[in-house]
């Protein structure tokens, strides 16, 4: 309930703008409408700015500051917290120990972060809604105050008008009106002899005092929900001027010393602004009120006015609708802004998480590549390095790589791929993939096309299958050096995995490192072949033979006494064949002779060509001297078979000398010299025979 006291103390919420509006018309001016809308937009803008600032702070806190991040910051990637990530580039942990970042590892934490994120968004929406609602309520209250101020101004204007009329009528002692116009004589003025008069023309005029005139104006001049003004008093002359309940309460307040009193009153007919103003008796009032014992200066009663609020509110309805529409539109824009900001924050958060995951994966890949490169430059055996590089690659954090794979080397003579290293392959696959022709299965296609072959499942290209094979996919990457195909390495991926360019780049880098390693190995083998093998027959030369003989005869025999032998061979009749058929035929004879000799010994033995038509054989751990004699007999037999050279058949034989180490360490030079001496004795005693070295033989003569 709103109450005002005027011409005394003003109410606390009666603003200067409200006071200034007393001199304006009934409608709210355009500037006031702009002020209301501006206040609403200003409040909404402040709320929106606060929300955006809050969102920015949240995003800044989410992004984190790498310079001030604590030890816990590494948990963002591993799924242990939503903080920023600090990558530890100095971690010495090897890749093969299990650095593997699988998707979904931090799913629970991501879910909690999403709940917090959208919970914050809901809180911002609720806060924004509350801010707009408060702004709308505040503007509604300002409009209500404007309505009340307008009603109060109208009430005071009506009271001022009626007070002026009353003052004039009282001053002149009343006015006469035509009774024929519907104005009945005032019975309370019957004691006055001049109450009723007749004009010379016969018109009946009756005297009307101020109170009666005000009542006549209120009854005749207004109808419906309009402004009503009347005179009332606690003890009126006319019963029609008796106060109602509210007026009685207001009159009591006026008797307490107030000059005016007004407030909003609700009733069956709606809400009204009601106000009373005290009537002070003057000397002129005694003509009517003398019988009541009234003296000048006393309060006779009051002028009472009531102003309906509904018409005033109706005039402000368009402005209220515009204000409501503006607030709704601004609220909608704010909600859209908050939702857009939340969506951007969510997208930025996901992008950052993905970026951090990619950075960690790339870092792990770089570590893996560093370890692979280090392994490729190590001094370990070639196939051991290949197997280790394969193990590192299969355990690198590259998507859904399974710890299975294989490396094949190109066999140019067979035009096929030869399996040299594998990890996790089942036995049936080891047998069927020991040698893969070009163009067969995925690996053969990769070698034939020299392009990366990817399969996300077991499709028609997967020609090699076995019982119990599970669903899987493949990356098959050709290993090249320049334009030369050196091999293929294949890795297993999960069924349904999608091809990824970053994975392919990583595997291509591994293939390049393998290509460099294999090329260096082939070059080393070529140098070894040139340095330690005979250029014509491909057999080890004297240097390689002496190196192997020294390792066995001097080092191994020290640790474990075993019986070994050296066979020195010289072809009988080779010079005649070479002179008769030419050097090319002689060379082919030497090549085939070396192959026949090699076929007679074991894989652990060594056959070497010393030069010309001389060959030497190291027999390791023969057990008994008879083994060396038996191998020498086999050599005699295979060399005695005819040789086909340029359509001609030739035959040669061999003189063989054998020397034993007597199950003790011995110098290889000594043993070779003894075998040479025995061979010379065999050659001088008839050829095509074998002679065992003995001390008397050495005493009887030999080659120097």
> What is the pLDDT, as a whole number, of residue 90?
36
Q: How far apart are CA 4 and CA 259, in angstroms?
A: 12
> What is the pLDDT, as a whole number, of residue 96?
38
Q: Enumerate residues 6+ apart whose C-beta is below 8 A from 572.
A: 652, 653, 654, 655, 683, 687, 688
Question: In this structure, what is the dihedral angle of CA atoms 594, 597, 602, 604, given to the nearest 10 degrees?
Answer: -40
> What is the pLDDT, as a whole number, of residue 329?
93
> What is the pLDDT, as a whole number, of residue 595?
95
Are 677 and 693 contacting, i.e. CB atoms less than 8 angstroms apart?
Answer: yes
Q: How far apart are CA 265 and CA 255, in angstroms?
A: 21
| Surface-to-core class of residue 447, CB atoms within 10 Å of its CB (0-12 exposed, 13-18 middle, 19+ buried) | buried
Please determine, looking at this structure, whether the domain spanning 377-530 carries the CATH number 1.10.1060.10: no
> What is the pLDDT, as a whole number, of residue 33?
45
Take residue 52 and report the two structure tokens written for it: 């955006």
- pTM of the predicted model as reported, rounded to 2 decimal places: 0.52
Q: CATH number of 161-309: 3.10.450, 1.10.3470, 3.30.450, 2.60.40?
A: 3.30.450
Radius of gyration of the chain (CA): 60
Q: List, run by run, the mean pLDDT of 10-residue segments along the chain (704 residues).
A: 38 38 40 47 49 46 40 35 35 39 48 79 90 92 90 88 79 80 78 82 82 72 67 82 88 85 86 88 71 76 87 87 92 92 87 87 86 92 92 79 90 91 88 90 92 91 86 92 92 89 90 94 87 91 92 83 92 90 91 95 94 94 92 95 89 94 87 94 90 67 42
- Count Cβ atoms below 10 Å from residue 357 Cβ, excluding itself: 20
> What is the pLDDT, as a whole number, of residue 221?
55
Q: How far apart are CA 266 and CA 419, in angstroms?
A: 101
> What is the pLDDT, as a whole number, of residue 110?
65
**Ranges of H-type helices in 582-624:** 583-598
Are 363 and 506 contacting, i.e. CB atoms less than 8 angstroms apart?
Answer: no
- Count Cβ atoms below 10 Å from residue 397 Cβ, excluding itself: 21
Q: How many CA atoms lie within 13 A of 575 on its CB side?
A: 3
Q: How far apart are CA 204 and CA 183, in angstroms?
A: 10
> What is the pLDDT, as a whole number, of residue 28?
42
| Largest CA-CA distance found in the chain, in angstroms, rounded | 198
Question: In this structure, what is the dihedral angle of CA atoms 16, 22, 23, 27, given to the nearest 10 degrees?
Answer: 110
Q: What SS3 class is residue 250?
A: helix
Please determine, looking at this structure, whether the domain spanning 533-700 carries the CATH number 3.40.50.2300: no
Q: For the chain, which residues make up each domain, given as ranges? A: 161-309, 377-530, 533-700
Are 280 and 301 contacting, i.e. CB atoms less than 8 angstroms apart?
Answer: no
Can you tell me which residue has the tokens 């992004």? 63
Residue 421: strand pairing partners: 407
Can you tell me which residue has the tokens 């003509």? 287
How far does the chain reach from its first CA to its final CA, in angstroms? 139
Q: How far apart are CA 95 and CA 590, in angstroms?
A: 52
Are 215 and 241 contacting, i.e. CB atoms less than 8 angstroms apart?
Answer: yes
Question: Strands 614-619, 565-572: parallel, antiparallel or unpaired by DSSP?
Answer: antiparallel
Q: How far apart are CA 458 and CA 454, in angstroms?
A: 11
Two domains, one topology: 377-530 and 533-700: no
Type and span of the H or E element at 419 = strand 416-423
Take residue 357 and report the two structure tokens written for it: 């995951």
């Amino acid at each position: 309930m709103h109450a005002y006291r005027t011409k005394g103390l003003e109410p606390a919420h009666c603003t200067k703008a409200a006071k200034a509006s007393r001199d304006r018309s009934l409608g709210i001016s355009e500037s006031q409408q702009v002020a209301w809308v501006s206040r609403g937009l200003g409040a909404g803008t402040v709320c929106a700015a606060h929300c955006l600032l809050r969102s920015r702070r949240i995003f800044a806190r989410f992004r984190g500051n790498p310079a001030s991040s604590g030890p816990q910051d590494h948990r963002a990637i591993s799924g242990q917290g939503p903080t920023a990530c600090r990558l530890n580039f100095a971690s010495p942990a090897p890749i093969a120990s299990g650095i593997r970042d699988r998707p979904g590892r931090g799913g629970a934490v991501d879910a909690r972060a999403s709940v917090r994120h959208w919970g914050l968004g809901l809180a911002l929406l609720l806060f924004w809604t509350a801010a707009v609602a408060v702004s709308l309520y505040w503007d509604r209250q300002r409009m209500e105050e404007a309505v009340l101020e307008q009603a109060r101004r109208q009430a005071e204007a009506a009271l001022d008008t009626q007070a002026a009329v009353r003052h004039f009528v009282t001053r002149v002692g009343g006015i006469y009106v035509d009774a024929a116009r519907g104005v009945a004589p005032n019975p309370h003025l019957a004691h006055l002899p001049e109450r009723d008069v007749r004009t010379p023309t016969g018109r009946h005029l009756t005297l009307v005092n101020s109170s009666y005139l005000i009542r006549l104006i209120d009854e005749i001049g207004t109808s419906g929900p309009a402004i009503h003004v009347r005179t009332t008093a606690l003890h009126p002359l006319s019963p029609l001027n008796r106060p109602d309940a509210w007026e009685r309460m207001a009159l009591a307040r006026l008797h307490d010393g107030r000059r005016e009193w007004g407030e909003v009153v609700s009733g069956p007919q709606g809400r009204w602004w009601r106000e009373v103003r005290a009537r002070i008796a003057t000397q002129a009032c005694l003509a009517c009120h003398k019988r009541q014992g009234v003296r000048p200066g006393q309060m006779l009663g009051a002028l009472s006015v009531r102003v309906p609020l509904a018409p005033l509110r109706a005039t402000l309805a368009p402005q209220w609708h515009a204000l409501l529409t503006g607030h709704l539109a601004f609220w909608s824009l704010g909600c859209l802004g908050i939702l857009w900001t939340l969506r951007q924050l969510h997208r930025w958060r996901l992008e950052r998480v993905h970026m951090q995951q990619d950075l960690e994966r790339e870092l792990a890949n770089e570590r893996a590549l560093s370890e692979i490169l280090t392994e490729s430059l190590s001094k370990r055996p070639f196939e051991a390095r290949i197997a280790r590089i394969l193990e590192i690659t299969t355990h690198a954090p590259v998507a859904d790589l399974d710890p299975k794979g294989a490396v094949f080397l190109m066999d140019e003579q067979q035009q096929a791929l030869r399996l040299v290293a594998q990890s996790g392959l089942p036995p049936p696959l080891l047998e069927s993939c020991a040698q893969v022709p070009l163009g067969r299965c995925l690996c053969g296609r990769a070698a034939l096309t020299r392009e990366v072959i990817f399969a996300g499942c077991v499709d028609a290209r997967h020609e090699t299958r076995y019982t119990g094979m599970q669903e899987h996919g493949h990356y098959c990457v050709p290993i090249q050096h320049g334009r030369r195909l050196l091999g293929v390495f294949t890795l297993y991926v999960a069924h349904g995995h999608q091809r990824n360019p970053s994975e392919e780049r990583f595997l291509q880098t591994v293939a390049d490192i393998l290509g460099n390693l294999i090329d260096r190995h082939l070059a080393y083998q070529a140098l070894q072949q040139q340095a330690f093998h005979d250029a014509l027959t491909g057999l080890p030369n004297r240097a390689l033979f002496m190196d192997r003989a020294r390792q066995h005869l001097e080092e191994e025999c020290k640790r474990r006494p075993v019986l070994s032998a050296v066979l020195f061979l010289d072809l009988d009749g080779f010079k005649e064949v070479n002179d008769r058929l030419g050097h090319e035929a002689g060379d082919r004879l030497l090549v085939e002779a070396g192959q026949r000799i090699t076929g007679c010994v074991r894989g652990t033995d060594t056959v070497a060509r010393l030069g010309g038509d001389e060959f030497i054989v190291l027999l390791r751990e023969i057990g008994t001297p008879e083994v060396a004699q038996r191998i020498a007999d086999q050599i005699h037999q295979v060399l005695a078979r005819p040789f086909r050279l340029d359509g001609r058949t030739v035959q040669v034989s061999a003189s063989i000398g054998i020397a034993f180490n007597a199950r003790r360490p011995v110098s290889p030079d000594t043993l070779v010299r003894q075998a040479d001496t025995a061979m010379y004795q065999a050659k001088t005693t008839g050829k095509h025979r074998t002679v065992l070295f003995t001390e008397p033989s050495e005493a009887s003569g030999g080659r120097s």
